[in-house]
């Protein structure tokens, strides 16, 4: 079985914490697994003894039949059958409930670690790779909880089987113990030789497939426009075929493990049968059948070993996400105010600043560095009087409500997409939509706020998608509202309405504004303008377009 110490320090800590939180259910599952194997071994062994004894009593004549006690063994057999069934149910329910509850807490922890940690780590992961880690990899870690009961069941079954075999012959018990040891060692070697590398490769292949699918899905309109659908299908098919090959290797490894279990069980039966020659027939039958069932009890351990490779690889991949878990974050200096210092000048809400410039000069990059979505070099910005490089990115992000140029929406309802900003009543949601000049659009929809918008807002126009993102940013009551090309794709009339509503909202809320735009109309709302030029320098402009200072070139590097 995989232990936390084997799977990386950070994810191991999180897994260990969830095991402690679910220890009652995990212990119940382990106890139930032990009862299952004890009942199963005892049931088959006692059944063999009972059937053989009854047959011999029948051959012994009427007197032997009358003397044979069949009530007690039959009652015990019935009890063992009930115990096995009930304990199996308890084991499955307790084990899977513990795993599901643990993963339900673990997945948000890892997502929080990814989103609140170092920007470089999050930016290094594509959306497909992040999805694979938070879905498939976390699911694979489930085995670290579900299979914890396997060793308990195997040990309990082995102990009972050896004890029953000893009733017929001490030699049979010794040989059975040796056979079980050989079975466990062989399963361990096979799993390390075959299952572990196959499982690891399969986990990597899943991530590669999802990564490719995500990238191609994002480029779907362009692929259709250039007639490249066939090429895209072939690209996905190549990744899918590789995944199928890896899963075939996993299945083949499982087949070898199963074959080894059959060979080991057959060898154990042969050895025990030879050792009980000369023992009373009922006890010999008891020993042989107990040996067979005892060997079967170790199959659960082999299954757990078979899944170790995938679980270990998944845990290693998740360890990178857990590296930035908030509980393990390094101590940083918290900003003392909402002021932002750049251009050698400190500004605070309700100040309004615009950043303009030609496409590609670094406007969005500079913005993302300021608000904590990218690493900020030392001395570049100050937030709350503290160098941005010395603050926790999560603390810095909390001061900014951001509507990005690259709009991302959930395949869900309008309400669900707005809920990313927090929990609000319907009146507040409608007010945000109205300020984004989108309220009337959804009031006409029979489903209103519960109207689905499709994958990434496919049911909306480009301008509606942008305005829904804008409404979501409005809902977050941060000191600064940061907007990247908020009116791109809008006609002049709609742009004027959006800007008028934005001006009104800022005046009412007292928020500061930092705005990036290649259009001039939004800059009329601002108190100052920074123009980024093609030679990677930045010129600070006041109202009326007069230069007021030169910005350090590293601002846009």
Tens-place pLDDT, residues 190-233: 888 988 898 888 888 888 888 888 888 878 888 888 999 999 99
pLDDT digits (tens, 9 = 90+) for 72-109: 888 888 898 999 999 999 998 998 898 888 888 888 87
Specify which of 168-172, 314-318, 359-363 reaches the highest per-range mean pLDDT.
Answer: 168-172
Say yes or no to pLDDT of 118 above 70: no
Predicted local confidence at residue 120, as pLDDT: 64
408-432 tens-digit pLDDT? 888 899 999 999 898 999 999 999 9
Q: DSSP secondary-structure letter at 70?
A: -
Q: What is the SS3 assignment for 101-166? A: HHHHHHHHHHHHHHHHCCHHHHHCCCHHHHHHHHHHHHHHCCHHHHHHHHHHHHHHHHHHHHHHHH
Q: What confidence tens digit (pLDDT) does each residue in 26-38 have?
A: 999 999 989 998 9
pLDDT for 506 beyond 90: yes
pLDDT by residue (tens digit) across 130-170? Answer: 777 777 777 777 777 777 788 888 888 889 999 989 998 99
Indicate if the pLDDT at residue 4 is higher than 60.
no
pLDDT for 555? 38
pTM of the model: 0.69
Judged on CB neighbours under 10 Å (0-12, 13-18, 19+), 360 is exposed
Residue 178 makes CB contacts below 8 A (sequence gap 6+) with 271
In tens, the pLDDT along 272-308 reads: 999 998 888 888 988 898 888 888 887 777 777 777 7
Pair 108, 325: CB distance under 8 Å: no
d(CA 291, CA 169): 12
* Least confident residue range of 239-253, 319-333, 468-482: 319-333
Nearest by Cα to 369 from 540, 113, 123, 541: 123
| Residue 50 or residue 470, greater confidence | 470
Return the exposure string of 306-330: e unless at least 16 CB atoms fall within 10 Å of the residue's CB, then b.
bbbbbbbbbbbbbbbbbbbbeeebe
Burial of 112 (0-12, 13-18, 19+ CB in 10 A): middle
Residue 254 near residue 199 (C-beta atoms within 8 A): no
Q: Alpha-carbon distance 268 to 251, whole Å?
A: 26
What Rg, from alpha-carbon coordinates, does the chain have?
A: 33
pLDDT of residue 249: 93
C-alpha–C-alpha distance, residues 404 and 488, integer Å: 11
């Amino acid at each position: 079985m995989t232990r936390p110490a084997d799977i990386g320090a950070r994810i191991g800590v999180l897994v260990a914490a969830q095991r402690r939180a679910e220890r009652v259910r995990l212990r119940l599952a382990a106890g139930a697994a032990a009862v299952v194997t004890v009942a199963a071994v005892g049931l088959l062994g006692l059944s063999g003894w009972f059937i053989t004894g009854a047959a011999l009593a029948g051959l012994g004549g009427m007197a032997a039949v009358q003397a044979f006690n069949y009530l007690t063994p039959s009652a015990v057999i019935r009890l063992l059958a009930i115990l096995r069934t009930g304990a199996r149910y308890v084991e499955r329910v307790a084990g899977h409930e513990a795993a599901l509850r643990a993963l339900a807490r673990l997945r948000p922890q890892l997502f929080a670690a990814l989103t609140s940690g170092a920007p470089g780590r999050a930016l290094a992961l594509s959306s497909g790779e992040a999805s694979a880690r938070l879905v498939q990899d976390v699911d694979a870690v489930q085995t670290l909880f579900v299979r914890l009961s396997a060793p308990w069941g195997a040990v309990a079954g082995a102990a009972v089987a050896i004890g029953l075999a000893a009733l017929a012959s001490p030699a049979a018990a010794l040989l059975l113990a040796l056979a079980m040891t050989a079975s466990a060692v062989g399963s361990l070697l096979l799993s390390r030789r075959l299952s572990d590398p196959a499982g690891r490769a399969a986990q990597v292949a899943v991530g590669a497939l999802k990564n490719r699918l995500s990238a191609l899905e994002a480029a779907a309109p362009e692929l259709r426009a250039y007639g490249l659908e066939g090429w895209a299908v072939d690209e996905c098919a190549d990744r899918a075929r590789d995944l199928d090959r890896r899963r075939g290797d996993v299945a083949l490894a499982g087949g070898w493990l199963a074959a080894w279990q059959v060979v080991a069980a057959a060898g154990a039966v042969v050895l025990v049968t030879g050792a009980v020659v000369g023992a009373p027939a009922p006890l010999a039958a008891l020993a042989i059948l107990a040996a067979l069932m005892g060997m079967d009890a170790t199959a659960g351990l082999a299954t757990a070993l078979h899944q170790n490779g995938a679980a270990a690889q998944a845990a290693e991949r998740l360890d990178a996400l857990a590296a930035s878990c908030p509980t393990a974050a390094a101590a940083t200096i918290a900003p003392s105010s909402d002021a932002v210092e750049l251009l050698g000048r400190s500004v605070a809400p309700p100040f309004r600043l615009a950043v303009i410039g030609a496409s590609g000069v670094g406007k969005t990059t500079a913005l993302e560095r300021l608000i904590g979505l990218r690493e900020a070099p030392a001395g570049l910005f100050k937030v709350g009087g503290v160098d941005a490089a010395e603050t926790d990115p999560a603390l810095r992000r909390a001061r900014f409500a951001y509507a990005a140029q690259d709009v991302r929406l959930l395949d869900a309802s309008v309400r669900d997409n707005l809920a990313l900003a927090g929990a609000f009543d319907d009146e507040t949601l409608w007010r945000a939509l109205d300020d984004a000049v989108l309220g009337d659009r959804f009031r006409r929809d029979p489903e209103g706020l519960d109207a689905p918008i499709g994958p990434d807002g496919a049911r909306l126009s480009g301008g509606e998608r942008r305005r829904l993102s804008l409404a979501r940013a409005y809902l977050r009551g941060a000191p600064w509202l940061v907007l990247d090309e908020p009116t791109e794709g809008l006609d002049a009339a709609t742009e004027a309405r959006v800007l008028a509503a934005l001006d009104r909202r800022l005046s009412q809320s007292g928020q500061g504004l930092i705005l990036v735009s290649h259009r001039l109309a939004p800059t009329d709302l601002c108190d100052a303008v920074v123009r980024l030029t093609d030679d990677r320098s930045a010129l600070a402009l006041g109202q009326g377009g007069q230069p007021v200072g030169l910005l350090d070139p590293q601002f846009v590097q």
